[in-house]
Structures are given as structure tokens and as C-alpha cells.
Amino acid sequence: MATDAPAPPALEPEIRALGRSLDAAFPSAARRPRAAAEDLITARLARRPELRAALFRLVDVAPACRTPGELGQHLAGLLSDVPPDEPAVRVGRRLGRGRATAPLTGRVAAIGIRQMAGRFILAEHPQEGAGALADLWRRGVASSVDLLGEATVTPAEADRYAERCDEALTVLSREASAWPARPMLEADSAGPLPRVNLSVKVTALTPMIREADPSIGVADAAPRLRHLLRRARDLGAHLHVDIESMASRDTIMRLVLSLLSEDEFRAGPSAGVVLQAYLSDGDEVAAEVLEFVERTPRESPLTIRLVKGAYWDHELVEARQSGWRPPVYETKADTDRNFERLTRTLLDAHAGGAPIRLAVASHNLRSIAHALAYARSLGLPDRDLELQVLRGLGDDLHDALAAHGLRVRTYCPIGDLVAGMAYLVRRLLENTANDSFLATRASGADLDSLLAAP
């Protein structure tokens, strides 16, 4: 297993060189004026937590507002908690309160929210997003589609989510068959890689998640997930099961590993799980997964998507309210160090013959360069490491990675704004956090300092 040791010092020069090379491949602000403007807004929000909180609350309440005027009034109320030291804040408060100006203010706010959602959410339906996915593929970027929706409360909602996933697999498989050949995206040293990749959430496949008794959720979700595994196998698609908060993690991991050990899934489909590096027990979960793949022979290696984690605020607040020790690292540096440790653990396992594929999901150039440098030090070809980014946050990065001939995949949510509200707020939190790589880089921080070991 990984230790607390940092990356080998001998790798540091290559890590920095790779990071600089990737950074140089980013398009200039002149070629991406809208994104450049959004970067400036991001940097400002990172410095103004009260303004950021008002934005998140507005996004959260927007779908429930019945009229533009109501949305304008909500905007004015939320801005009342923000110090009026910026002209935009003062104007928004004044116009949102006016009987005649509130509807116009609400319409402008609604347009802004839709544009913001459009940055992160690809389309409402798989068929509508097929053209954009094909364009990514032609540019050398694969995709993983995520149908927005989580935490269902009735069996009927869970059934409907499963039906949407089935439909997405069918539509995307049909569309992907016409895509041009992209050898880097279609195979690694272990064999073929499916063109279609669908990410699913177990919390949307069952309303019966019970942290105290995972077996209840496992039993209820199993028939729906088993059906989707069969469909993915029959269509030659990849099915990736997302991990969410700690309250559902054990249920999800138990369910997925149990189903994949069944005889009917030994020959497929290609499938995967998620490992969250911000959890302090990440090494234990990695050991559990590696033990599973060693004792459970399958024709297709298990893909492990290594992420830092998107529920940090939730986990920290819930732990503090309950009076228990937080399950997450409380500093970004600790999370980054654990991410690098787990990267080395999984690459060591892969190089040693474990039937796994590693997908490193990060927008941090240091984390990406570290993974590449370490994989190369083990003699692994670049095609054996997948790099993953999020639509809306990693658009420039995926182009830079593809330009370097690396295997990259973009996580593309599909769904309407109401279903995607929780996802949208998480992305906004990530994009505007004071210590995020994206916000820090947008604020003009020195690249060499960002590429230093955590």
C-alpha cells in the first residue's frame, strides 16, 4: 500500500516540465474571451465568500421562482447580506426591489443562470447532446455521460432513472458507431476501450439507502443496476458507478463489487468504481478494491476513477454537527498528498499485473503531471493512463491534454436545471473555492509555486 512518503524527488524536474508544457498548450485569453471573462468572475468570487454564497442561494432558488419578478426580488434579498462596496451589488439590490424593475432584473438573472448551467451541463437529453459528444471525439476527447438526478425518494423515480440510463446507452451506442477511428481513445495495453461511457448514481437507482444497514439499499438497487450492466454488456458500452457521500459509499461499493462478481458479468461489461482521495480511509478502500480484482477474474479490467471528492463541505459540516471526527482531510494539501499516494499505489498495482485501469480525474496540473511522470517511470505507455476532467471546468485542459497525445475523457452531465441543481452548486463551489487550482491560477498565481509538491 501507499505510504506517507512524497513523490520521489527524482521525479520533481519532470513533473515541473510536464506541468509547464501543459500550461503552455492552453489557449490564450484572446482565443477564449468568454471563458477569460468567466475566469475573472471566478477569481473575484473566490475573494468574496459572501457574494459567492448569495450566488449559490440564487441558483438554488431559481427553479422554484414562478415569475421573473419573484426571481428579481430574491436576488435583491440575497444581495442585502453582501457589503455594498461594489457598484454591481448596489444596482442589483436597488433594481431587484423596484416594482417596475424587478421583472427585468429577474430575466437578466435567469439568463445568467441558464448560461452558467450551459457551461457545465451539456444538454437536456442524450440525443440533443450527441452532436457535441461527436465533436469532442473528433478533437481527440472521449466522454462519460452522467444523467443528472440523485437521491430518489420513491421506487417509481428510481425506475424512471433506470429507464433514462437504458435509453442513453441505446442512443449513445447508435450515435457512436458513426464516429471516426481514434486509436488513442479506443485501446490501451489491456485491450479495447468502449466508445460509450455512462456514469450512474446508485442513490438515483434506489430510495432505500440506509447508512446503518447497507444491505437494504443493495437489495433494492441490485435489479436495476443488474439490468443496466446487461445492457452495457450487450451494447459494448462502459458503465461507471459514481461514489457520492459517505452515507451511501459502503452501500454502493458493496453493491457494485457483488454484482461484478456474478458469473454472468465475468465476460463484461467494462465497468468501474470511484475512489475519493479526500477521505482519510482511502488506502483501505483501495486495498479492498485491489483484493477484489485479484480474487475475481473478469475479462475486462476494472476502471478506478481517482477523484479528490465533491462533498467536502457536506462531510465536514455533518461531522461537526454530529460531534464526530470528520472522515475527510481538512486541508487541501493533505488531500493533494493523499491523491498522489493513491495514484502511485494504483499505478504500482497496474504495473504489477493487477487487472485495473486508472483514470486520474483532476484539474490540478501538479496532480496530472505527477501521474504522468510516475507512470512513465514505471515504464507504462501513456495510453495506459486516462486523464479525466469536468465539462465547464476542464475544457481548456482537455484540449491541452489531447494536443499532447494523451488519453483524456470529459465528464458530461445531461439533464434539466432542476435535476442538475445539486451538481451545479457543487461545480460552482469547486470553481470558486479559495484554494482550488483553477481559482488560484485564474487569480494570477505563479505556476512554479502551483507545481510544487503538496
Tell me: pLDDT of 2 over 50.
no
Residue of 252 and 28 predicted with greater confidence: 252
Yes or no: say if 184 and 136 are a contact pair by the CB < 8 Å rule.
no
Question: CA-to-CA distance for 207 and 205, rounded, in angstroms?
Answer: 7
Average pLDDT over residues 219-240: 98
Cβ neighbors of 350 (< 8 A, separation 6 or more) are 356, 357, 358, 380, 384
Yes or no: say if 429 and 313 are a contact pair by the CB < 8 Å rule.
yes
Average pLDDT over residues 323-331: 88
Give the per-residue SS3 of 3-37: CCCCCCHHHHHHHHHHHHHHHHCCCCHHHCHHHHH
Q: How sure is the predictor about 231, in pLDDT bands with cuts at 50, 70 and 90?
A: very high
Per residue in 108-142, pLDDT (tens digit) is 888 877 877 778 889 999 999 999 999 999 999 99
Tell me: pLDDT of 289 over 80.
yes
Count the helix, strand and coil residues of the chain and give each as a percent rounded to the nearest 5.
Answer: 60, 10, 30
Task: Identify the DSSP state of 426.
Answer: H
| Residue 210 CB neighbours (<10 A) | 15
Tell me: pLDDT of 449 over 70.
yes
Question: CA-to-CA distance for 284 and 296, rounded, in angstroms?
Answer: 18
Q: Which three cell numbers stand for residue 139?
A: 478533437
Yes or no: say if 334 and 390 are a contact pair by the CB < 8 Å rule.
no
Domains assigned to the chain: 32-117 (no CATH), 123-416 (3.20.20.220)
Question: CA-to-CA distance for 398 and 450, rounded, in angstroms?
Answer: 19
As a whole number, the mean pLDDT across the chain is 88
CA-angle at 232, arms to 399 and 221, nearest 5°: 110
Please give the single-letter amino acid code of residue 68: P
pLDDT confidence of residue 3: 41
DSSP secondary structure, 346-392, as one string: HHHHHHTT-SEEEEEE---HHHHHHHHHHHHHTT--GGGEEEEEETT
For cell 458493496, the residue is 254
Per residue in 151-189, pLDDT (tens digit) is 789 999 999 999 999 999 999 999 999 999 999 999 999
pLDDT confidence of residue 44: 64
Question: CA-to-CA distance for 107 and 113, rounded, in angstroms?
Answer: 10
Yes or no: say if 350 and 358 are a contact pair by the CB < 8 Å rule.
yes
CA dihedral sign, ordered 207, 212, 215, 218: positive
Per residue in 370-427, pLDDT (tens digit) is 999 999 999 999 999 999 999 988 899 999 999 999 999 999 999 886 666 667 676 6
Cβ neighbors of 301 (< 8 A, separation 6 or more) are 190, 293, 355, 356, 357
pLDDT confidence of residue 364: 93
pLDDT confidence of residue 34: 63
Q: CA torsion angle for 335, 358, 290, 257 (degrees, to 10)?
A: 100
Yes or no: say if 382 and 115 are a contact pair by the CB < 8 Å rule.
no
pTM of the model: 0.89
